[in-house]
Chains A and B, each alone.
Chain A
Amino acid sequence: MADTGVAARIHGGLHLDEHKQESNATAIRTLGLPTRLVLPMHQHIGEPAEPLVRVGETVLKGQMIARASDYVSAPVHAPTSGRVTAIGEYPVPHPSGLHDLCIVLEPDGEDRWDTLPPGFPDWRSTDPAEMRERIRWAGIVGLGGAAFPTAVKVNTSGQRRIETLIINAAECEPYITCDDRLMREQAADIVDGIAILRHVLGAERCLIGIEDNKPEAAEALRAALGATVDAATDVVEVPTLYPSGGERQLIMLLTGREVPSHGLPAAVGVVCQNVATAAAVADAVLRGRPLIDRIVTVTGRGVVQPGNFRVRFGTPAPFVIDAAGGRSTDYHRLILGGPMMGFSLHDHQVPVTKASNCLLAPAADELPPSPTERPCIRCGECARVCPAQLLPQQLYWQARAQDFDKVQDYHLFDCIECGCCAYVCPAHIPLVHYYRFAKTAIWAHERDRDKSDLARRRHEARQARLERLEAERKARLRQKKEALEQQPSAAGKDPKRAAIEAAMQRVAAKKAAQLDAGQAPNDE
């Protein structure tokens, strides 16, 4: 365990007030059962899961109640035993405030486990593909907040060989401490998960990137590593600088390698996973347990006793807040995620999902609304702090003008929405809002285009079919007519010959028709 230093620096970034000590002083508390759990089918990036249960069915804890509907998708498991009381649209944690398909589960209070698949005690000699399948079955997604299905991320076949597994323990956003607490309390699980992930990826080494404001957590990890014989895993403390926990930023910091824009970390031989994800992998592989809960930080002056909680998915946010001592008189609004990248919840009744790392209830003066916007003075502050080295100001002008081609020329899709630019902007322009507006508008245009391409293809196929049918109809008419015309003349001929000729003609026509049908677009 040689002490590895930071390999490179990142561009820009911010020193922010951490606000971590509010919630990281107390141990993780495990939350009880609420009266109902609302489980969204779309808690991850990719296609939503497909319900496998019906209303009225009883399910056991850990039973898969919705399956992955596609390669990039993740199943959902019952966080406790109980009865499915509804499947329908409920408010979900999303910036739109819209409703989405959810399974509602009424716990029976017994918390009875389903029969779980056996663990892989000898995972070191197990085929990685088998363990990927287990990770996929367990519904594990990136628990850092992005919620990308882990099984997909660790499937690097066909790509460059992975040399380095990077574990993201930076937790750079203010207020959030769930990973900090998890590392202090469950370092051994994390270390197991890391070893398994390394085996699955075939990575030679692992670097754990952690900001230097979490010395206890780093110490706990080092101790856990020391207890194993893992010499290829190092804990690297990186300077506290937001957003060092951005995936590309952390890879740069730890390895000095720059993930190509439009590329994946695998392109530089790296795969990056969050610490909590590693712990979940250990649970799934060693104990056969699916992902049914996570650690959530509840903080802000709006709650009485900020802290970290182990919360089952589907638990309504108010239940979690009550556990944190309830609302204080400063309770004012609720943000899912941190102050830099989280979003305001429209409905406080939304459930905790796989992506919910933090419930932040700031007092009114804790995160005051941004002062009124002014015109951009082109001061360039935004470009100075942008960790993606973009020109936020240019992105802003193009997004505002809705020039969606230009905004992509300025690399809109390399923006990680970290919010540094908007934070420093002296004109207080909601820059990130403009980028999100432009991104979602571009996606909508792409969907429209795909849809119109599909419509064009179908229309052309139909057109071709109608023409073919028409041609066939005409051909048949002509044949009949010809046959009628031929009859008088044929009468004079040898009747036997005429019969043979007619039969030959029929066969020829049939053949022609078959040929025609074979070539026609296959649209019927």
Chain B
Amino acid sequence: MNALDVNSSSPHLSGPHSVTRVMGLVLVALLPGTLAMQWYFGWGVIINITLAVSSAVLAEAAVLALRGRPVSHTLIDLSAVVTGWLLALALPPLLPWWQTVLGSTFAIVVAKQLYGGIGFNPFNPAMAGYVLLLVSFPVTMTRWLPPDVISGAAPTLTESLHMIFSGMPPDGQTWDAISRATPLDLMRTELAQNRMISEIRASPLWGDYGGRGWEWVGNWFLLGGLFIIWRRVISWRIPVAMLGSLLLVAGLFWAIDPETHPFPAFHLFSGGAILGAFFIATDPVSAATTPRGQLVYGALVGVFVFVIRSWGGYPDAVAFSVLLMNMAAPTIDYYTQPRIFGQRGRDDA
């Protein structure tokens, strides 16, 4: 009578959700922050995104074809786009193009597809790509631009294209003249030279409560993050736990010694903390999934971010912390299984 598979089980209804929709909403939520970054750091941001996204999609398509999997069917889940985009947001705006492509390809091929593709990767692919680049190319990877509010103007489109594709500063200029450390980097190096926070605060890189420019980028990402919480793409638990624990630990140390530990808001609004809390640590595939587990996971990411920023060898720490906790996620899940309905057997009669 009909060609339907009668053996298929109930429910015969399915909801409006789909992976494509989830990823699409994430992309929408990334837009405000992305535009803010472009505003402060120039065209390099957009060029990076274009490079990273297209190489991520190409890499995904190539691997899928090689593995004999349906290509277009998988690509429209948009997960490769999200990975490339997130990676690009973490990269310095003028990174040589081939490094961006390399990082993005590595993220997809090694960190995602070699583990079996979406859903099977134990590590956040974008952060795996980022860490690879950071470890391999420490010089270019820490060469950030100052926000245009300091430098007067961000590089133009042609300047950016030139620098990214040639890997050279414009004629007659040096990298040192153009680039600047990130506020976090500055904080580290200055503190290492035993400067006081009050002196460091005098730097033009310091804004009202975070790094100048960075604080607004953070605000816009925060808006996007709230949007996906509202649309229930992610739960509030990981971001709140992560930012909360970061604030708490940073606040504690700041209270003890405000001259060697920056004001807690600085931690939130100077690097990748906001982006990381809402968009990276929440990557469902590699994060913890049980409600209590998410709180534990988020809180530990926050603590690690502070620890690595304060005493580790790298200026920012979101990527490392997330990857570290990715490893712990299955264990956290295992020990934080929720009590099921009927396990309490509440006997109040």
Residues of A within 8 A of B (CB): 10-11, 14, 16, 95, 97, 163, 174, 248, 252, 256-263, 267-269, 332-333, 335, 337, 339-346, 348, 362, 367, 369-372, 374-381, 383-384, 387-391, 393-394, 410-411, 414, 417, 419, 422-428, 430, 432-433, 436
Contact = CB atoms under 8 A, between A and B. Distances in A.
Given A258-B344, A379-B284, A414-B342, A391 B4 contact: no
Closest 5 CB pairs between A and B?
A260-B345, A419-B11, A375-B119, A261-B342, A433-B9
A389 B345 contact: no
A426 B289 contact: no
Given A258-B342, A258-B346, A379-B22, A332 B2 contact: yes
28 contacts: A14-B15, A257-B349, A260-B342, A260-B343, A268-B345, A333-B4, A333-B6, A335-B12, A337-B10, A339-B13, A342-B12, A344-B6, A367-B12, A374-B74, A375-B120, A377-B19, A377-B22, A379-B22, A379-B284, A379-B289, A388-B341, A389-B341, A391-B290, A410-B337, A427-B19, A428-B18, A432-B10, A432-B11
A424 B9 CA distance: 15
Given A260-B343, A263-B342, A377 B119 contact: yes
Nearest to B235: A380
A426 B18 contact: yes
B14 interface: yes
A203 B10 CA distance: 36
A389 B10 contact: no
Count chain B CB atoms within 10 A of each CB in A11, A333, A378 and give the residue with the most.
Answer: A378
B10 A341 contact: yes
A14 B11 CA distance: 13
Contact of B73 (A248, A372, A414, A424): A372
A436 B8 CA distance: 11
Contacts of B117: 375
A345 B289 contact: no
Interface residues of B, number: 48
B181 to A, nearest CB: 36
Contacts of A410: 337
Contacts of B73: 372
B200 interface: no
A384 B291 CA distance: 9
B72 to A, nearest CB: 12
Interface string B307-349: 0000000000000000000000000010001111111111111
Given A163-B349, A342-B12, A423-B13, A261 B340 contact: yes
Given A367-B12, A374-B118, A427-B119, A345 B21 contact: no
B341 A380 contact: no
Nearest to A8: B346
Q: Which of B9, B19, B116, B343 has the most CB of A within 10 A?
A: B9
- Residue from B6, B284, B343 whose CB has the most chain A CB atoms within 10 Å: B6
Contact of B11 (A248, A341, A374): A341
Nearest to B329: A378
Interface of B: 1-2, 4, 6-15, 17-19, 21-22, 73-74, 77, 79, 116-120, 235, 284-285, 287, 289-291, 333, 337-349
Contact of A257 (B12, B15, B339, B348): B348
A95 B7 contact: yes
A521 B343 CA distance: 44
B338 A339 contact: no
A417 B13 contact: no
A430 B119 contact: no
A11 B9 contact: no
Contacts of B342: 248, 258-263, 388, 414
